Chains A and B, each alone.
Chain A
Amino acid sequence: MIYVNGQPTEIPDAPTIDDVLRSVDIDPATAGIAVAVDAEVARRGVWPTRTVPDGARVEIVRAVQGG
C-alpha cells in the first residue's frame, strides 16, 4: 500500500515514482507539479527510476490560487 496524496493506493511490483503518478492518472510529463516521498523532495530526474517503498507517503502538488 502506498499513500498517494493521503489516499491508500495499491500499486503492484515496486513502482517507480512515474508509476505512482500514472496510477492516479497524472502524466509524469505534466509541467508545474512536484513530488515528495516520505517528506523529502524527489527531483523530476529520478521519477523514472526511483522505486517507492511499500507504506510510503507520496505527496504530489501543484500551484493553486493563494495568498
Chain B
Amino acid sequence: MTAPLSIAGREFGSRLLLGTGGFDRLQTLGEAIGAAHCELVTVAMRRVDAAAPGSVLDVISECGVEVLPNTAGCFTARDAVLTAQLAREALHTDWVKLEVIGDERTLLPDAPELLLAAEQLVDDGFVVLPYTNDDPVLARRLEDAGCAVVMPLGSPIGSGMGIANPANLTLIVEQAGVPVILDAGVGTASDAALAMELGCDGVLCASAISRAADPVAMAEAIRHAIHAGVLARGAGRIARRTHARASSPPQGVAEFAE
C-alpha cells in the first residue's frame, strides 16, 4: 500500500483520475473505471441533447465513483466560471477541473484567463483543480490563488507525447505545497510511471485509456504503472552517469591459459 492522495482535506486511495472523453461505448467506460480503480472521473458540460443516447452520469453512479466536472471548451475566464457554476447546480459538487483554453490547435491553457478564473472560483467557494502549462511560475501563482492542486500538462491534450519537459515538471513538484497531478499528454503506462517517479502525486488520463486499442487493459496498465512509479520514487533511483560503472567485482577475474 502507498499513502493516500489528499486533496482539499479529502483522501483518495487512487492516484489515477480518469477522463471520460473518447470512449466509444459507455459500457467500455464502466469497465475501464473498474480496471483503473479510480475514484474521481471527469465530465464536460454541454447543451442538453434529447436525442443523445444514455447518460454518462448513470455509468459513473453505477461504478460508485465521484464526478469531477470540467470547463472544457471555455476560452475565457467568464465562460469557465459560468460553466463551473452550472456544473455545481447540475451535479451538486463544488469541485471543478478548471480548463481555460487559449488555442484550438494546441489546446494549451490561456495563462492570464486561467489565473483570473481560478481566483474568481476560489472566491466563490470552489475547490479548483486547474489544468495548467508546465510553467513553474504559473503553477505557483495558481497555488497562491488558492487552488487545491496544480495539474500541469505533460504535452498537449490527446497528443500522447508523454512528458515533454521533465525538468519543468520537476521544478513544479519541488516548489509545490499542494498536490501535483499530471494532466494531459500521457500516451501509455510508462509516461504515467515517469510522472510518479518525478514526484507527481497523481495522473489524469483520458485519451491514453479511452482511445487505446483495448481501453480496459490500458486502464489496468496505467494503474499498475502509477503504483510502480510511486514505489520507484520512494526507493530512490540511482544517479545518471555519463560512463559505465561495473556492478561485478573487478578483482578475482580468472586468467585463462593462452
Contact = CB atoms under 8 A, between A and B. Distances in A.
A5 to B, nearest CB: 4
B69 interface: yes
B45 A62 contact: yes
Given A32-B57, A60-B48, A65 B23 contact: yes
Given A5-B48, A41-B82, A61-B48, A66 B89 contact: no
B50 A66 contact: no
Interface stretch (B14-22, B141-149, B241-249): B14-22
Interface string B47-59: 1101010011100
Nearest to A65: B20
A63 B56 contact: yes
Given A33-B90, A36-B82, A41-B82, A63 B43 contact: yes
B86 A61 contact: yes
Interface of B: 19-23, 26, 29, 42-48, 50, 52, 55-57, 67, 69-70, 72, 78, 82-83, 85-91, 97, 99, 206
30 contacts: A24-B50, A25-B50, A32-B55, A32-B90, A33-B48, A33-B90, A34-B45, A34-B86, A34-B87, A34-B89, A35-B89, A36-B82, A40-B82, A43-B89, A44-B89, A59-B86, A61-B83, A61-B86, A62-B46, A63-B56, A64-B43, A64-B44, A65-B23, A65-B44, A66-B20, A67-B20, A67-B42, A67-B43, A67-B70, A67-B99
A-B interface, 7 closest residue pairs, ranked by CB to CB distance from nearest: A66-B44, A34-B90, A34-B89, A63-B43, A67-B42, A67-B70, A34-B86
